[in-house]
Amino acid sequence: MTGTQREGGGGVSDVRQQRFPRARVSVCAARQFVGDTLAGWGVRERWDEMRLCASELAANAVLHGAPPGRDFNVRLVRERARLLIEVRDSGPGLPVIQCASPDAPAGRGLWLVREVADEFGVLDEPVGKTAWVAFAVWPGRPAG
Q: What is the pLDDT of residues 8-19, one digit of tens each?
A: 544 557 999 999
The whole model's pTM is what?
Answer: 0.84
Give dist(CA 49, CA 131) in Å, integer. Answer: 16
The CATH number that domain 12-136 falls under is 3.30.565.10
Instruction: Summarize the confidence of residues 25-47 as an average pLDDT.
Output: 95
- Contact between 116 and 49 under an 8 Å Cβ cutoff? The reply is yes
- Tell which residue, 27, 34, 20, has the closest CA to residue 84: 34
Give dist(CA 128, CA 20) in Å, integer. Answer: 15
More confident of the two residues 126 and 2? 126
- Sorted by where each begins, the domain ranges of the chain are 12-136
